[in-house]
Amino acid sequence: MKKVLISLFAMAFLFVSAPVFADDINLAKKSTIETILQNKQLRVGFESGYLPFEMTNKSGKYMGFDIDLGKALAKSMGVKWVPVNTAWDGIIPALVTDKFDIILGGMTVTQSRNLAINFTNPYIVVGQAVLLNKKLAGTIKSYKDLNNPKYTIVSRLGTTGEQAAQKMIPRANYKAYEAEAEAAMEVIQGNADALIYDLPFIEKVQAQHGAGKTIALGTPFTYEPLAIGIRKGDPDFMNFLNNFLVQYKGDGKWQRSYDKWFKSTDWFEKVGE
């Protein structure tokens, strides 16, 4: 009787699980991985100009921390890395409508974005910091001191810098700009009191243009994980990307790229206008 019960259980399991296995196989066949391998290319969406993550050099080629990561990812899949430079305000709709395979462009994971697309585990964590006009040296010691209508703060339109400025410094006079470089120049020239933006960019501006003009308050006041964005409903691709990120960090490639772009200024002169 025991053997009969076991056999009946095994048969029932097969009947119940067969449709589930079939669904799993069909889901795997629809994965973006299959499209990438068939086309022999990985299309990567980003907007050039977010230093030092993705930039255009004087020869018109892309470079930066995210560019290194994207190229390494394509190499791990045995396919060609194909850059798709895309306006930031339309980058999520472009991913959803299959203009490229992933967003790898300094995108912060936010709950509102996560409703539209899925994110991998973070590959780096940054935060918002303050680039201050030198005239306020000693007066402004943290972002909280800027929360006054007499101060004008700036950031880039549609970014987490803008969100932080409006949410955490609501009483200040806020102005948005289409490009972070334009907003930074307003502070450098004394037309604005402070720029609220990602720490890597703040440090880059301070090192390259800020001597004697600005002060970088280099302690981030927000927590912002950056991750790779993909379309929803693709667990196989998500699994691959997360495992790739573990390997990329574990074998030292992540650290070498970080040192190159964040701890060195050798690349400054290569950036195009």
Better-scored residue on pLDDT, 115 or 51: 115
**Contacts of range 50-55, beta carbons closer than 8 Å, 24 or more positions apart:** 50/105, 50/106, 50/180, 50/198, 50/201, 51/200, 51/201, 51/204, 51/271, 52/200, 52/204, 52/261, 52/262, 52/267, 53/105, 53/106, 53/200, 53/261, 54/105, 54/106, 55/271, 55/272
Residue 263 has what pLDDT?
A: 80
Quick one: average pLDDT of 150-160? Answer: 95
Q: Which of 19-33, 148-162, 200-214, 257-271 has the lowest mean pLDDT?
A: 19-33
86-100 pLDDT, tens digit per residue, is 999 999 999 999 999
Residue 3 has what pLDDT?
A: 46
Matching CATH topology for 33-125+224-270 and 128-217? yes
- Output the pTM of the full model: 0.76
What is the largest distance, in Å, between two alpha-carbon atoms of the chain?
Answer: 89
- Domain 33-125+224-270 fold is D-Maltodextrin-Binding Protein; domain 2 (3.40.190)
Quick one: average pLDDT of 81-89? Answer: 96
Quick one: average pLDDT of 157-181? Answer: 95
Quick one: average pLDDT of 209-237? Answer: 94
Q: What is the mean pLDDT of the chain?
A: 90
Residue 21 has what pLDDT?
A: 45
Quick one: average pLDDT of 62-75? Answer: 98
Tell me which architecture the domain covering 128-217 has in CATH. Answer: 3-Layer(aba) Sandwich (3.40)
Better-scored residue on pLDDT, 98 or 3: 98
Residue 119 has what pLDDT?
A: 98
144-153 pLDDT, tens digit per residue, is 999 999 999 9
Exposure string of 145-156, with b = 16+ CB inside 10 Å and e = fewer, is: bbeeeebbbbbb
Q: Which of 155-159, 187-191, 208-212 is the most confident on average?
A: 187-191
Residue 2 has what pLDDT?
A: 44
Domain extents for the chain?
A: 33-125+224-270, 128-217
Quick one: average pLDDT of 40-69? Answer: 95
pLDDT at 13 over 70: no
pLDDT at 215 over 80: yes
Residue 67 has what pLDDT?
A: 98
φ, ψ at 129 (rounded to 5°): -135, 180
